[in-house]
Amino acid sequence: MTHRCRWPLCTAVVGDNLWGCKAHWRALPSDVRSWIGRTYRFGMDRGEHPTPGYLRAHRAAIEFARAVVAAENRENFDGPD
């Protein structure tokens, strides 16, 4: 099974055992990556309930991703051109 990369607006499709596409996974801070890795349980994305620990780690990753996307948008809007 596959799912969309969890990064906001990314349309890359990745395997269930991955949080997101390679580029966006690498864009996460290493502490968030290891947090997700520690809390992930195989099979979760096939409908088994995620653990509260994983949800917290996932939320931290999404918050980080949103902040990056927001900063990129600001740069685009306020750029010299």
Interface with Zn ion (CB under 5 A): 5, 7, 10, 12, 20-21, 24
Shorter beta-carbon distance to Zn ion: residue 13 or 55: 13
Tokens of 24: 């966006």
CA dihedral sign of residues 24, 70, 55, 13: negative
Q: How far is the CB of 49 from Zn ion (least distance, A)?
A: 24
Tokens of 29: 């801070």
Shorter beta-carbon distance to Zn ion: residue 48 or 72: 72
Q: How far is the CB of 29 from Zn ion (least distance, A)?
A: 16
Shorter beta-carbon distance to Zn ion: residue 6 or 40: 6
Q: How far is the CB of 58 from Zn ion (least distance, A)?
A: 14
